[in-house]
Structure 1
Amino acid sequence: MIFNGIFCCTCFGGQKENLNKKLIVIAVSVMTFLLCAFSDGAKDSEIQAFHIAGTTQGTTYAVTYYSEKELIKKTAIDSIFSRIDQSLSIYKPESVISQFNASDFGIETDVHFDKVIRKSMEVYKDTDGAFDITVLPLVQAWGFGTEKVGVLPDSSRIKSILPCVGSDKIRLRNNRLEKLVSCTQIDVNGIAQGYSVDVVADFLERNHIQNYLVEVGGEIRVKGKKYPGNKPMRIGIETPSKNEFEKTGIQKVIQLDQGAVTTSGNYRRFRQSGSQKISHIIDPKTGYSAQTSLISVTVIADDAITADGYDNALLLMGLNKSLRFLEAHKNLQAYFIFQKPDGSVSDTATAGFYPYVR
């Protein structure tokens, strides 16, 4: 959506295969006033903006690039998303991931599946299991998966599922992902949209496009600037005001020449059980909804798959643990919006995040 020249992208997080996934009150708005000259010395008047938009993975996507002529068509972008879905969508019974989940011992991988699993295992180990793609049985039990549930799981049900959960129960060897426990199932929705953004961005660069914005479900990767005007790429981060979560405004505007920005949040996608709100962010170690004061986490990284993987993990870790974790991870910068004990909303960020703020 475009309002007064501002391209607004709703951010999704965690499991995100339908229009409500990763839907949070903290949206990322993209101001596409992004500008610079190509290295070939073309005049501003010769460069055009080309826009491609559509639906994929249960949400929307938007691609904007700048060139003297049209270099990419919508059919090419849609074909990329189609191939990714055939690999990673748990909503397609014939996909590679669905075949793995239905198997007893594992299956042969394809290129998309292999890359996402490798990155997921890397983030799993780095975060001490805070990010874990084997959480699918718990996600299904709590009603955030492919099927609706009428009754929330009790403690005995959670206890019976936990032996199936844990990325130490899967092993990637050569071109095969193996199960060490037959009941283990995986869901890469917490990282797949970031990966999809990177695949499209890399496709643009292979076609000699050096100034672009790619957005899928609110996950963003940018490079270069926009014609005309010679203004840098800017991304606005929205925040709720005080306790009124439905009322938002731009809290921070960050500026990127190149890189990715993703957001994970837990406010809107939840189930109500009495007075308790159960977030779709499930702790793979306990089997229950993450208990955290964090409302959202926005991550800046070199690529979208990295930012997307870590934003979920940081949300589950909570504010203090996340800040300690990021002290040792200078390749990641993050902005946090959280709720104080008195119910008011506040924000903070890593020291390395503030230089991006404009």
Structure 2
Amino acid sequence: MPEFSRRRFLTIFAAAGALATAPFTVKAQHPVQTWKGVAMGSAASISLSHPNADEILSRATRELERLENIFSLYREHSTLAQLNRDGVIDAPPFEFLECLGLCGTINRASGGLFDPTVQSLWHLYAQSYSQGQAPEASSIRKALSRTGWDKVVIDRNQVSFKVQNMAMTLNGIAQGYVADRIARLLREDGLNNVLINTGEFTALGGHPDGKDWPVSIDTGMRLRKEKVMLRDNALATSLPNGTFFDQAGLVGHILDPRTGYPAKARPKAVSVTAARAAVADGVSTSICLMNDGEADKFLAQFPSTKMV
């Protein structure tokens, strides 16, 4: 699940329409100011109302950059890229360990459906379809032998793979985790009434005008356009058919770690709210591989979560 993959057709408009880079006046004491850019390969923004907004946004974007150097799949020297290249990483950053701990929790709760080690499978599909053909069944079986969360060894001093040529992607959870970390940074500074968008959303408090933050999701495929109101919670969306491996648009990018084949349970977008964006992110990704009954039992294990 590479960084652009789940949202190639996902356009998100927040704060009562697309957030402009210029401040707009509301009932708050200070105008809402928004930084817009890119984080974890997705369109990103941070909106807040504060007399020192420029300084706060600058500090938040520096933290975004630091976190991307941990979680990016495509930055050569990121922690994740080093693990994938060398099969081991010594003295991993705390944030990396914390995110992997949450991965383990969601992996167990989902019966193994949430599995960041599917990157070898993803690479196989991408390479095969770039050559105009589906991967052979034998190649899928070989790639599956290099997947499995039980093949990842984690302690505070080292993270390693038990099997050679394994690879991990955190794109099913890292965007949400990064949003949570930025929220934590701003909360510790005493801020409230902030909306953070890293491809997934986290709201600290509500909108400065006293109302909730309105976040409208448009998949670009006329599947859903309803508005979700956020206040002190988070929202994540996964779209199984947001990106396709094949030119015909038939082979979606979310792969089932049980079979090695693309998800079939849910062709439509899955949106989940939760207290933490990382939880919403991982849960929404997992549900793409579940039927309704399985999703209900899975959600019950995370009391703060809700499909919207």
Give TM-score, length-normalised by structure 2.
0.87
SS of the equivalent of 1:258 reads coil
Residue by residue, what CA displacement relative to the aligned partner does 1:119-145 show, whole Å, maximum 9, x if unpaired? 111111111111101000001011189
Q: Distance in 2 between matches of 1:30 and 1:87?
A: 27
- 1:222 paired with 2:203, answer yes
- 1:280 paired with 2:266, answer no
**2:204 corresponds to which letter in structure 1?**
K
SS of the equivalent of 2:180 reads helix
State whether residues 263 and 289 of structure 2, in contact with CA within 8 Å, keep that contact through their aligned partners in structure 1. Answer: yes
From the two aligned structures, give the one with the greater strand fraction. 1
Q: Tell me the equivalent position of 2:213.
A: 233
In structure 2, the CA distance between the partners of 1:16 and 1:272, relative to structure 1 (3 Å rule), is closer
In structure 2, the CA distance between the partners of 1:248 and 1:187, relative to structure 1 (3 Å rule), is closer
Per-residue deviation at 1:255?
2.6
Q: Tell me the equivalent position of 1:136.
A: 119
**1:264 corresponds to which letter in structure 2?**
S
The 5-angstrom pairing of residues 108-187 of structure 1 reads: 108-143=91-126, 150-187=132-169
Q: Distance in 1 between matches of 2:291 and 2:55?
A: 41
State whether residues 141 and 149 of structure 1, in contact with CA within 8 Å, keep that contact through their aligned partners in structure 2. Answer: no
SS of the equivalent of 1:122 reads helix
In structure 2, the CA distance between the partners of 1:249 and 1:308, relative to structure 1 (3 Å rule), is closer
**1:236 corresponds to which letter in structure 2?**
S
Q: Tell me the equivalent position of 2:170.
A: 188
Q: Distance in 2 between matches of 1:220 and 1:329?
A: 18
The 5-angstrom pairing of residues 1-358 of structure 1 reads: 15-18=1-4, 21-23=5-7, 27-32=11-16, 44=27, 46-70=29-53, 72-143=55-126, 150-217=132-199, 219-228=200-209, 230-238=210-218, 246-247=221-222, 250=225, 252-272=226-246, 277-335=250-308
Per-residue deviation at 1:47?
2.6
Per-residue deviation at 1:224?
1.9
**1:326 corresponds to which letter in structure 2?**
L
In structure 2, the CA distance between the partners of 1:90 and 1:256, relative to structure 1 (3 Å rule), is closer
**1:256 corresponds to which letter in structure 2?**
L
Per-residue deviation at 1:326?
2.2
Q: Distance in 1 between matches of 2:28 and 2:73?
A: 45
Q: Distance in 1 between matches of 2:69 and 2:240?
A: 28
Per-residue deviation at 1:268?
3.0
State whether residues 109 and 298 of structure 2, in contact with CA within 8 Å, keep that contact through their aligned partners in structure 1. Answer: no
Per-residue deviation at 1:105?
4.9
State whether residues 99 and 107 of structure 1, in contact with CA within 8 Å, keep that contact through their aligned partners in structure 2. Answer: no
Per-residue deviation at 1:248?
6.1
What runs of 5+ residues in structure 2 fail to find an aligned partner?
18-25
In structure 2, the CA distance between the partners of 1:265 and 1:286, relative to structure 1 (3 Å rule), is same
Per-residue deviation at 1:297?
0.8
In structure 2, the CA distance between the partners of 1:221 and 1:44, relative to structure 1 (3 Å rule), is same
Per-residue deviation at 1:46?
2.9
Residue by residue, what CA displacement relative to the aligned partner does 1:237-269 show, whole Å, maximum 9, x if unpaired? 447xxxxx734663x333332110010012231
Q: Distance in 2 between matches of 1:133 and 1:249?
A: 27
State whether residues 28 and 263 of structure 1, in contact with CA within 8 Å, keep that contact through their aligned partners in structure 2. Answer: no
Per-residue deviation at 1:113?
1.4
Per-residue deviation at 1:98?
1.4
Per-residue deviation at 1:115?
1.5
Task: Answer with 1 or 2: which has the greater Rg.
Answer: 1
Residue by residue, what CA displacement relative to the aligned partner does 1:318-339 show, whole Å, maximum 9, x if unpaired? 333212322443221113xxxx
SS of the equivalent of 1:72 reads helix
Per-residue deviation at 1:307?
0.5
In structure 2, the CA distance between the partners of 1:178 and 1:227, relative to structure 1 (3 Å rule), is closer
State whether residues 103 and 182 of structure 1, in contact with CA within 8 Å, keep that contact through their aligned partners in structure 2. Answer: no
In structure 2, the CA distance between the partners of 1:45 and 1:128, relative to structure 1 (3 Å rule), is closer
Q: Distance in 1 between matches of 2:96 and 2:28?
A: 42
Identity of aligned residues (%): 23
What runs of 5+ residues in structure 1 fail to find an aligned partner?
1-14, 34-42, 240-244, 336-358
Residue by residue, what CA displacement relative to the aligned partner does 1:9-51 show, whole Å, maximum 9, x if unpaired? xxxxxx2423xx2126565542349xxxxxxxxx956333221
